[in-house]
Amino acid sequence: MKLRHWIFVLAGLGAATTVAAQDLKSPSADQYVPRLGDIMSAAQTHHQKLSLAGKAQNWDLAAYELRQLKASLVEAALLYSGIPISNVTTLEPSLQATSDAIATKDGRKFSKAVGDLTEGCNSCHRSMGRSFVVMKVPSDPQPFANQQFAPQAKALTDKP
């Protein structure tokens, strides 16, 4: 997808998020902005559920979780200007491949696409100096089974 198209997509989703947030306003006049860590925790949950739903061949749930994951990524890019738009747009091929695999109910293509998507997440983390956050395709349904917790050698691409 071209960058221009992504800008329109991000702007449209941002407007929808703003409208939804206004509908759910608390009595306070201040608008709540979720912390980046909270958005990424939601993305991690959707990533795990996406993977597990695909493994179980629950394609409707997998499609739903993929939409939720995309929304989390877009929300992060819209709300946090320090995240380069290219970090989101470079995930598009693996997001599309995952969507295509879900549409055709192809478990093999799904596994590859989710693996590529996971590597894309890790690539983004490295580019942001967060290589200590390492995602993996979950092997079981336990909470946070899609994150590696053992430390790795510090990558040369990490920013201080």
41 Cβ contact partners less than 8 Å away, ≥ 6 residues apart:
none
Mean pLDDT for 46-61 is 95
Task: Name the residue with tokens 């596994």.
Answer: 111
3-state helix, strand, coil in the chain (%, to 5): 65, 0, 35
Q: Is the whole model's pTM more than 0.85, yes or no?
A: no
Model confidence over 63-77: pLDDT tens digits?
999 999 999 999 999
Q: What is the mean pLDDT of residues 42-60?
A: 95
